[in-house]
């Protein structure tokens, strides 16, 4: 995994540089026009937002139930990335909604639960920062509760009648819109993997350093 970080960052940076041209080349959506192009960023960051919640939750479960201390580094990394991606989702979404629906925000199930998940990440980070000793266990428990939201957010648009498009929209996209979408998705995913890797490595090194300090104090 470690060796992939640099090529992934370079590649995703290049792809995100080219992305505006590719998005520009995609056809205009018939009813929403230009503003629909937010979608090419909104979809990837929203999906990765959910993915980071799952990574954070699964690694927290590994910490709690299998006593895997290294998994904690991955959970912290995923939580911080989830916070950033959640913020991006909650910014790009309303930008699009203002034009498409006429309002910035509606309190439907998906939007509400996405906001809740974002707040959960924020609370998790506050806890990890200010909780002091013992907060890692508690954070892990909290991440499990946060992960429960993910399937709920994903299926909510299919269950409730709402303004947000359903999950069936993306697979049925025409090719000339699908290409820029998956291009952006690939770019964001590589960036996500690289950042996750870097942050987890940093966290592992920090824990190791702390353990070394402790060992030195005891000696």
Partner 1 sequence: MMRAFFRVAWQVMRKDMTVEIRSREILLTTLLFAVSVVLIFSFALVREGRAPDDVAAGILWVAISFSGTLAMGRTFERERYNDTLRALILAPADRPAIYVGKLLGLLLLMLLVEIVLVPMVGLLFAAPIFAYPGMLLMLLVSGTLGFAAVGTLFAAMLVRVRSRDTLLPVLLYPITVPVMIGGVRGTAALFQAVPDEPMARFWIGLLLFWDAIFVTLALWTFEPVMTE
- Residues at the site binding partner 1, with contacts judged by CB under 8 A: 64-65, 112-113, 116, 119-120, 122-123, 126-127, 130-135, 137-138, 140-142, 144-146, 148, 152
Q: Which CB sits closer to partner 1, 152 or 182? A: 152
Report the nearest approach of partner 1 to the CB of residue 124 (Å): 8
Tally of CA atoms within 13 A in the half-sphere of 145 that contains its CB: 11
Burial status of residue 3 (CB atoms within 10 A of its CB: 0-12, 13-18, 19 or more): exposed
Q: Which CB sits closer to partner 1, 127 or 198? A: 127
Q: In whole angstroms, what is the distance from residue 173 CA to residue 166 CA?
A: 12
Report the nearest approach of partner 1 to the CB of residue 192 (Å): 23
Q: Which CB sits closer to partner 1, 151 or 165? A: 151
Report the nearest approach of partner 1 to the CB of residue 48 (Å): 20
Report the nearest approach of partner 1 to the CB of residue 105 (Å): 15
Q: In whole angstroms, what is the distance from residue 196 CA to residue 81 CA?
A: 7
| Rg of the chain taking only CA atoms, in angstroms | 19
Q: Which CB sits closer to partner 1, 43 or 118? A: 118
Q: Which CB sits closer to partner 1, 12 or 59? A: 59
Report the nearest approach of partner 1 to the CB of residue 147 (Å): 9
């Amino acid at each position: 995994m470690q060796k992939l970080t640099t090529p992934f960052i370079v590649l995703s940076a290049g792809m995100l540089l080219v992305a505006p041209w590719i998005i520009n080349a995609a056809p205009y959506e018939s009813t929403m026009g230009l503003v629909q192009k937010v979608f090419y960023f909104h979809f990837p960051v929203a999906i990765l937002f959910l993915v980071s919640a799952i990574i954070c939750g699964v690694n927290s479960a590994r910490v709690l139930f299998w006593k895997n201390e290294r998994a904690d580094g991955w959970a912290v990394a995923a939580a911080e990335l989830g916070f950033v991606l959640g913020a991006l989702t909650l910014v790009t979404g309303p930008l699009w909604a203002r034009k498409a629906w006429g309002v910035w925000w509606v309190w439907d199930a998906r939007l509400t639960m996405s906001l809740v998940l974002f707040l959960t990440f924020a609370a998790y980070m506050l806890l990890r920062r200010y909780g002091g000793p013992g907060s890692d266990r508690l954070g892990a428990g909290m991440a499990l509760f946060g992960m429960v939201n993910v399937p709920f957010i994903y299926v909510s648009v299919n269950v409730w009648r709402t303004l947000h498009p359903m999950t069936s929209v993306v697979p049925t996209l025409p090719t000339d819109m699908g290409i820029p979408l998956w291009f952006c998705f690939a770019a964001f995913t590589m960036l996500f993997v690289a950042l996750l890797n870097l942050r987890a490595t940093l966290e592992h090194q920090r824990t190791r350093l702390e353990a070394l300090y402790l060992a030195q104090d005891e000696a």
